A and B are shown apart, each in its own frame.
Chain A
Amino acid sequence: TPIEDSFYLNFDSIEGTDDVDLYLSQFGYLSPSLRNPTSGNLIDANTWERAIMEFQSFAGLNATGDLDEETMELMQTPRCGVKDKVG
């Protein structure tokens, strides 16, 4: 069954989300297995929101799932390079 494009986030169309995608992947909030190979490795919007929420929760922010200013700011804070979520 074809998958509706609108169900997936196209990171190319949202400014700054490439970096956020990289950040969430680098620190263990998004794993390659969550990407859908049949739709250009895009990520389900719910998966993306859940990953943001997990990061916010871990960091002590309000877990809204929104990529708000506070969340973006924390993502730019210098930090340790080890993953937060160790599998």
Chain B
Amino acid sequence: FGSDTRSKRYALQGSRWKVKALTYRISKYPKRLNRKEVDDEIAKAFNVWSEYTDLTFTAKKQNPVHIDIRFEESEHGDGDPFDGPGGTLAHAYFPVYGGDAHFDDAEYWTIKSTRGTNLFQVAAHEFGHSLGLSHSDVRSALMAPFYRGYDSNFRLDSDDIQGIQALYGRKTS
């Protein structure tokens, strides 16, 4: 946990990437969304974290990459099956376990809409795990575990910023 004295705060899983220039690949796209739109939303979700650190994220079309992103349904090979619409929306692995992010393709993923589940917000949350953040017990934090609906004015909470900067330092430029 963070070292301040507040009772509620971010949590660090315990691993982080040694490099700050990270690469990613969307190796399986969702069924219902346009690929270009998905590329843009995923890039935006990574930018949430690069805004406050020196981390950079570069999309690649081929392996090897640091973070592999897949939209999958039900059992998808990692022993942690998705449960269909609602319930769990996605999961991601901490750096020590590879950093990959999986999204339940049975969800109704949407972009800039109050309907369905907002892809950008969920992706930004999952990438927090990919970078080493665990769940926060601060309700307003992105790293809180519960989906809170589409927020058209989304900003990282100060708790998230403190968490990511505890791992990777402050942005220098």
Contacts and interface: CB of A to CB of B under 8 A. Distances in A.
A40 B162 CA distance: 45
**Chain A interface size, under 10 / 10 to 19 / 20 to 34 / 35 or more:** 10 to 19
A79 B92 contact: no
Interface residues of chain B: helix, strand, loop or mixed (majority): loop
Interface string A71-87: 00010111111111010
A82 B129 contact: yes
A79 B11 contact: no
Given A59-B146, A86-B13, A80 B91 contact: yes
A78 B129 contact: no
A7 interface: no
B78 to A, nearest CB: 11
Interface residues of chain A: helix, strand, loop or mixed (majority): loop
Interface string B91-104: 11010000000000
Contact of B91 (A58, A59, A77, A81): A81
B137 A81 contact: no
Interface in B1-23: 8, 11, 13-14
Contact of A77 (B14, B80, B92, B147): B147
B89 A79 contact: yes
Interface of B: 8, 11, 13-14, 80, 82, 86-92, 94, 107, 117, 122, 125-126, 129, 134-135, 137, 139, 145-147
Interface of A: 27, 57-60, 74, 76-84, 86
